[in-house]
Structure 1
Amino acid sequence: MATIKIPQEVKDIFPYEKIRPIQDKLILTTYSALKAGKNVIIEGANGLGKTVATLTSCIPIAREKNLQIIHVCRTNKQADRVVSELKEIAKATPVSGVSLRGRREMCPHPLVQKHADDAVTASVLCGQLKKLRKCEYHNRMSESLPHMRNAIKVLKSVPSSSTEINELCEESRICSYELILKLLEEVDVVASSYQYIFNPNIRDTFLKRVSRGLDEILLIVDECHNIIDTSLNISSGQLSIYSVRQALKEIKTFDKLEFLRLIRFLSTELEANQTRSYIEKKIDAKNLLFRMSKEVGATIDHDYSDKLISAGMKIQNEHLARDKSPRSYLYQLGRFIRKLVVTKNRQEFLHLITSYQTRGEGWGVKFEVVSLDARFTTKRVFEYVHNSVHISGTIDPIDAYSKIVGMDQLPLVTEVLDSPYSEQNVQGFIIDKLSTKLADRTPENYDKMCEVIAEAANNTPANTGVFAASYIVLKGLLDAGIQTYINKPFFYETTKMTSSANDRMVDEYKRLADKGGAVLMGVLGGRSSEGADFPGAQMNTCVIVGIPYARPTTRIESQIGYLDEQFYKKGREYGYIIPAIRRAAQAAGRPIRSINDRGLIIFLDYRFSQPYTSRFLPTWLKQNTQLLEYEHGRIATIAEHFFGP
């Protein structure tokens, strides 16, 4: 194998004893591409040290070109991990950085903590409290005060996470969020959520704070496969019957009766489409706006939506004056009407009335504006930033990703790195003759799946994760008596489970890792399969039950059709096949969070072995997985040998 020569300016700041094989390829690819003014997309397995490799590749380039590095992530934990690596790099070279969380999570004021259950409400509350000088934490933010001067001096020179800054500010009773905002233009690296760059409403304020344009930013997109769904969500919107009814109460309470006819029209329209089954009905946005205008006797356009938003903001202020949560449903209505007006003639948006089941087992109905094209959000960002680096463990085929996010016409270098794992680290098996296709969901097959899962779980020394293609498949396993097959504590997700209840369940599951282990069962694409980390013994074995293909709903069919037109008959592949395989691959990677972790991965669906499907699995998984003809006891033997001394 040819020796990879790492540039000296990267070696000088790499904080660990040596650069590992494959990690060196990541570093050289990233550094060389940025040096040549190109963007980079790289797939590399978990545990490679992608974060530190990317940072040490980017810092010399950022210094040379006077750029600020913005490292965007999906979760706050990932952003804090960036700061952890910066601390190590700071031992070799002076570098500063902060991780930024949302105002709602960082603001210490009791009113914000009590009433702000979303970012908009937190922003309104914070703005009014500052304006009225009713926030003692903000009032103590003058840089002439000794505690502020000391805090800023320290944080300018030492990489600090939002958690650490929170602790520092608690002692001085100053606002950690406002302090971070003061630091943003001073530091070398900012680690934040995707929203700060990709949500245009947040981005504009953020860029003012860092005092830079997009062209002065070197952007790192961590776990970049997530940016597709995130971007679609950012440009989509909805208005529920509940919100409309609350808006009706609001205008009566606050004497905004000029909007009465509009709200009654919307309520009647939604109620006429409410059913006791899940239905997506495509609607014509222009026709809806025309009928709204006719009912109101005025054109429903940008100006009208601005009137709604303005009236809603006044209601927010009145709520605040009464020491209540500054939520306004009229404000929400105005924002939705604006989105409807903006998207009415755009083919990359779908407009729906959707009837759906609520968490409390009731039935709701809502208007939806559904984005079909991530480029509506991403393309402007990637075209205008100085350069961008995209890193993921599950992004192959990179060609599809680059087209979907609008990078295919930009100067670009791509690389799929080899697997760093040996058979001692990772073994994957695809069980032949089993699948979750509708015709294969028989009692006999569910019994066999339970048997395979039990053999894996009962012979795994610590924890096992089981992730089903859907709640229907999960219920099939429960009905087959999966719990009776397993001789360990057993936990499973439900559709009614709140986020906090799920977190408590996962915490209890993790605590059992060193006590003989437990089994956690969830769905692919759910909180546990993508939203949680399970390092070390917290998940030794992962079982994937089926391919999580989306239900063929109106929005899925519309997206496939739209992508077919945009990418020459690639709609089904880009909008249906690849997202499903990626969700499965994400879950399969749960046991492997570092290069030394060991993970046994079982796929209970032979379709993962088929040539068309398997080519979308990440390289690190393909290189360590084989097809297996199941016989009773075989998985038990494999698990015993794999985890044995």
Structure 2
Amino acid sequence: MSDSIGDRTVPRVSIDAEWADLFPFDPYPQQVDGVERALDVCRDQGYLLLEGACGTGKTLIALAAGVQTVLDGDADRVMAVTPVKQQLKQFVTEIRAINDNREDGETPITGLVMVGKRDMLPYAREEQLSDAKSVHDAASDMRETTASLISRESMLELDIAPDDLDGRINTCDESGCDRLSYGSHECPEHRSERDEDTTWYDPVRAKALCQLVSESDGPRLETAGATAPYPESPPHTRDVLDIYASDEIPAADAGYFDPFYARFFADEEWIPFGFDESETSVLDSETIVRAAVSRGTCPHEAMASLMSEADVLIGNYNHVFDPMTRRLTGEKAGVLDEGTVLIIDEAHMLEERVRDLLSDTLSLHALRTAHRDIALAREYLSGTGGEPGADPLAHQRQAKSVLSDYDGLKASDLRVGQQFIEWLIEAIDEEVSSFLHEEYGDWQRRFREGSLPTDDHEIPLRDPQTVAVDRLTEAAGSTFDDDVWRRMRTIGSAVGAIHEADSQTDRTPVSEGVGMLLFEWGLADERTYFREIELEYAEKPADTTLPDWVSAYNGALSLYNCIPHDPLATIFEDLAGGVLMSATLEPFDVYLRVSGLDHLAGSDSTSTSDSTTNSASGSNATHGAEQETDSRRIETTGYGLSFPRKNRASWIVDLPAFTYRNRGPPSAAFDAMTRARQAHASAIVTVARSHGNILLCLPSYAEAEWAVTHLREHVTKPVLCDRSSESGTTDAMLGRFFQDDGTDRVLVTSARGTVTEGIDYKGSRLHTAAVVGVPYANTANARMKAVINAYDREFEDGGFEYAVKVPAVRKTRQALGRVLRGHSEVGTRILLDGRYRPDAPRSVNTYLSASERTEFTTVSPDMLDYALNQFWDRDS
């Protein structure tokens, strides 16, 4: 068996390595080289940066190396994460292919796909949760109610007789007490120390609860092709409690609950199915939900429980890098540790995605709710709080008992915390009111008239191009002591604990989360974090208790992480090494620094920009110098396109730089355009008229709109316009573009959009990918200025290069990668901007890969039509 590699035919390689059994076919030379390198690095608990063009087989290379590391006993599991759903499916496909190729009797490689609660909670999947709350909040409330029903300490009596559950329900042993004690000797009121069970839940209570729900009338819930033993809508406590035997039901214990969650504890946290539920030993979300729902247990808990048993875990970036999601994968499941080999797919996106994950916001609504939390806690402490008819002294005793657990915290501190939030809300109001007046003048009148623009805004609280204390923090220092931000964490935690411990209220406090963010706001490094106020346009009824602008905007404090390399380095350090892969990682020296991997390699290590051809692999491979220190081993490797060179043409068109200053406003009339825009307008018409389907990528969606208008006047092909929109709209637009009806089309988009990455334009779907200009991020944005400033200070004035130039060229390279997805495909790659030339002013040529710098040749605008015709007419 052989394939064309470059301009020659190179056979696939049959090898005798152990990992070869994991390949479903004989590997290509670059795949042999890639697996050997990755395996060697992973055995040393190091990290390999792997850049590979389409056709390299990056997914299989990384999986084979990671799984072999597990089979060798050098790691416990592989965790593969990707931000692209299509690639998540690719990981599943590859593991299934590996298992299909294993010999009879060999233990299959087990895999599990990790997804969020919306996809894993049965009632959430069928949109049966409260419309007034997010899935997370509604599910949390249901779980809290469920926990109160199955707790060993619960005084609530289920409406079930002792004989209804195989004799497992007992009555209390205490003389004269006839309360049900479920799985214990005594009811909670008379429980003694001789009860040695220390679990918080009673599995007998949980089983009884599930039986009551399963015996209720009405249609059953159906999801993922399975029918549950429970109703199609969440059950309520009133449906299962014996209102005559129970004490008065506290408000906190009343509400809807989740019988699937209860069943998990009825089974004493045992999952009644395993990886053999799937014929391929890979459990995706649909398989888990179907298996769990049919047995009445919780799919989300099943997923969490099975994580530690899987050889390969597959998820998204959140599972590794989001502090909230890490509670599931790290703290609960324990699968993010020194036994985990990490595979990061589409790793060029890592910095941008993690920057957002490590940033945080605090809404005005949350501040006001936290203020109310503190006010109620203070009422409890003073002996004046509680629900009507409740004993305020009981509230007071409970609150004081909780507060005593916080050393040094006094009731007066809560008053200070309340005053601080009041001051903060007023300070935000002043900032927003001043901004709106400066931006729109009499904005209230314009809002009433309906002429106020529906734009969102960011209000920077310091000069983004300096490092300084923000205005809110500085102003707080003149009213409160310097320690107030730090103390808000303790105050918020104590207030939350007071509410949680009080069984007479149904309030879900937010004070702990608010206190934590205020703590971080006050202590976060000014060099790393940028502080703003975010305004999201959202009309709503006026609320006289809030500032008047709230009727037009949602307001929030924003603590934005400009440069996340330190937390990334910490996460990488905690794991057993791995592979970071993408088609666009170069330049490696920049990537090492912004990802934090240079921290692991040690300060004495250096990245080399020199590269050599690995002739032994028979591929177009380039390899950076290995970096090995006393800490971690970091290695880089790159593979160019392995498809036949004759099947492609790659050009840089020597056009004026398509910059904001050069191109001028996007005029529809050719005569009104600047010379630079005229040159590009003529070039995109030439490209659009060429053979086949065309993907044309502009620097922004606004410029894409201009290009569409111009092309529709000069091109007979249908011209489709991609806009920033919901995924369903984008999918429908791509469906029209991919339609196989004999009509060629032009798709115009932003190079910073969603259809230039992660979309497979395979086969005859695409013939030319062209990028107009260099898709720089908007550097006039205050947040982007802060990012550049942070990089300047971290990397000695390399901010624009690291934060803007390199990511922009990666966007270009990703767009070009949409064409030529297979060995038999033919296509052209075109860069429409002279700055891609190596000798151009402000050239970005060095940020292309070594193979791209070799392949792309310069053509003048007047020769572009001739070059395209010559390429496409050569076989006619």
TM norm. shorter chain > 0.5: yes
Aligned pair in 2 of structure 1 residues 620, 144: CA closer, same or farther (>3 Å)?
farther
Bigger helix share: 1
Q: Does 1:341 align with 2:522?
A: yes
Deviations 1:178-218 (A, max 9, x none): 22212101110001111111123322431244434521111
Determine the structure 2 residue equivalent to 1:438. Answer: 660
Q: Does 1:488 align with 2:755?
A: no
With the length of structure 1 as denominator, give the TM-score of the two structures.
Answer: 0.85
The offset of 1:415, in angstroms, is 1.0
| Kept in 1: contact 2:113–2:283 (CA 8 A) | yes
The offset of 1:73, in angstroms, is 1.0
Residue aligned with 1:238, SS: strand
Q: Does 1:42 align with 2:50?
A: yes
The offset of 1:226, in angstroms, is 1.1
Aligned pair in 2 of structure 1 residues 396, 88: CA closer, same or farther (>3 Å)?
same
The offset of 1:109, in angstroms, is 1.0
Q: Distance in 2 between matches of 1:139 and 1:359?
A: 40
Larger CA deviation: 376-385 vs 549-558: 549-558
User: Which of the residues 833, 844, 861 maps onto 1:605?
Assistant: 833
AA in 1 matched with 2:802: Y
User: Which of the residues 242, 251, 260 maps onto 1:137?
Assistant: 260
Aligned pair in 2 of structure 1 residues 74, 451: CA closer, same or farther (>3 Å)?
same
Q: Does 1:538 align with 2:547?
A: no
The offset of 1:425, in angstroms, is 4.0
The offset of 1:293, in angstroms, is 6.8
Q: Does 1:385 align with 2:566?
A: no
Determine the structure 2 residue equivalent to 1:95. Answer: 109
| Kept in 1: contact 2:653–2:834 (CA 8 A) | yes
The offset of 1:474, in angstroms, is 2.4
Q: Distance in 1 between matches of 2:66 and 2:792?
A: 36
AA in 1 matched with 2:687: A
Residue aligned with 1:602, SS: strand
Q: Distance in 1 between matches of 2:716 and 2:266?
A: 61
User: Which of the residues 197, 202, 208 maps onto 2:320?
Assistant: 197
Q: Distance in 2 between matches of 1:635 and 1:331?
A: 65
| Kept in 2: contact 1:116–1:125 (CA 8 A) | no
Structure 1 unmatched runs, 5+: none
Aligned pair in 2 of structure 1 residues 81, 60: CA closer, same or farther (>3 Å)?
same
User: Which of the residues 127, 137, 140 maps onto 1:124?
Assistant: 140
Structure with higher Rg: it is 2
AA in 2 matched with 1:488: K
Aligned pair in 2 of structure 1 residues 638, 152: CA closer, same or farther (>3 Å)?
same
Larger CA deviation: 388-397 vs 207-216: 207-216
AA in 2 matched with 1:467: C
Q: Distance in 1 between matches of 2:756 and 2:774?
A: 13
User: Which of the residues 455, 475, 488 maps onto 1:291?
Assistant: 475
| Kept in 1: contact 2:121–2:298 (CA 8 A) | yes
| Kept in 2: contact 1:421–1:620 (CA 8 A) | no
Q: Distance in 2 between matches of 1:314 and 1:226?
A: 42
| Kept in 1: contact 2:470–2:531 (CA 8 A) | no
AA in 2 matched with 1:453: I
Q: Distance in 2 between matches of 1:468 and 1:313?
A: 53
AA in 2 matched with 1:128: E
Determine the structure 1 residue equivalent to 2:358. Answer: 235
Structure 2 unmatched runs, 5+: 1-9, 150-256, 379-417, 441-454, 463-467, 541-551, 602-631, 665-672
| Kept in 2: contact 1:231–1:377 (CA 8 A) | no
Q: Distance in 2 between matches of 1:180 and 1:237?
A: 27
Q: Does 1:374 align with 2:553?
A: no
Q: Distance in 2 between matches of 1:117 and 1:46?
A: 43
AA in 1 matched with 2:355: L
AA in 2 matched with 1:541: T
Q: How does 1:40-189 map to 2 (within 5 A)?
A: 40-64=48-72, 65-91=74-100, 92=102, 94-110=108-124, 115=131, 120-121=136-137, 124-125=140-141, 127-128=143-144, 130-131=146-147, 134-141=257-264, 149-151=272-274, 153-154=276-277, 158-169=281-292, 171-172=294-295, 174-189=297-312
The offset of 1:387, in angstroms, is 1.1
Aligned pair in 2 of structure 1 residues 165, 354: CA closer, same or farther (>3 Å)?
closer
AA in 2 matched with 1:270: V
| Kept in 1: contact 2:304–2:328 (CA 8 A) | no
User: Which of the residues 19, 40, 53 maps onto 1:10?
Assistant: 19
Q: Distance in 2 between matches of 1:599 and 1:316?
A: 63
Q: Distance in 1 between matches of 2:774 and 2:537?
A: 24
| Kept in 1: contact 2:99–2:280 (CA 8 A) | no
Q: Distance in 2 between matches of 1:388 and 1:99?
A: 19
Aligned pair in 2 of structure 1 residues 160, 373: CA closer, same or farther (>3 Å)?
same
The offset of 1:163, in angstroms, is 3.7
AA in 1 matched with 2:140: V
The offset of 1:279, in angstroms, is 6.5
Residue aligned with 2:338, SS: helix
The offset of 1:127, in angstroms, is 3.5
Determine the structure 1 residue equivalent to 2:791. Answer: 563
Residue aligned with 1:456, SS: helix
AA in 1 matched with 2:872: E
Q: Distance in 1 between matches of 2:792 and 2:872?
A: 47
Deviations 1:202-257 (A, max 9, x none): 22431244434521111111111111112211222234xxx426754896799769
Q: How does 1:217-616 map to 2 (within 5 A)?
A: 217-239=340-362, 243-244=363-364, 248=368, 258=418, 259-274=421-436, 275=439, 281-283=460-462, 285=469, 288-289=472-473, 291-292=475-476, 300-305=484-489, 307-308=491-492, 333-334=514-515, 336-343=517-524, 345-353=525-533, 367-408=557-598, 409=601, 410-441=632-663, 443=673, 444-461=675-692, 463-478=693-708, 481-494=710-723, 497-510=725-738, 512-530=739-757, 532-553=759-780, 554-611=782-839, 612-616=843-847
Q: Distance in 1 between matches of 2:93 and 2:327?
A: 28
| Kept in 2: contact 1:223–1:393 (CA 8 A) | yes
Larger CA deviation: 376-385 vs 113-122: 113-122
Aligned pair in 2 of structure 1 residues 364, 482: CA closer, same or farther (>3 Å)?
farther
Q: Distance in 1 between matches of 2:858 and 2:816?
A: 16
Report the number of matched residues. 629
Larger CA deviation: 89-98 vs 429-438: 429-438
Larger CA deviation: 598-607 vs 276-285: 276-285
Q: Distance in 2 between matches of 1:50 and 1:164?
A: 26
Aligned pair in 2 of structure 1 residues 102, 4: CA closer, same or farther (>3 Å)?
same
Aligned pair in 2 of structure 1 residues 160, 152: CA closer, same or farther (>3 Å)?
closer
Tell me the C-alpha RMSD between the 2 structures.
4.0
AA in 2 matched with 1:433: L
Larger CA deviation: 218-227 vs 601-610: 601-610
AA in 1 matched with 2:284: S
Residue aligned with 1:131, SS: helix
The offset of 1:296, in angstroms, is 7.7
Q: Distance in 1 between matches of 2:370 and 2:336?
A: 40
Q: Distance in 2 between matches of 1:617 and 1:313?
A: 55
AA in 2 matched with 1:121: D
The offset of 1:260, in angstroms, is 4.2
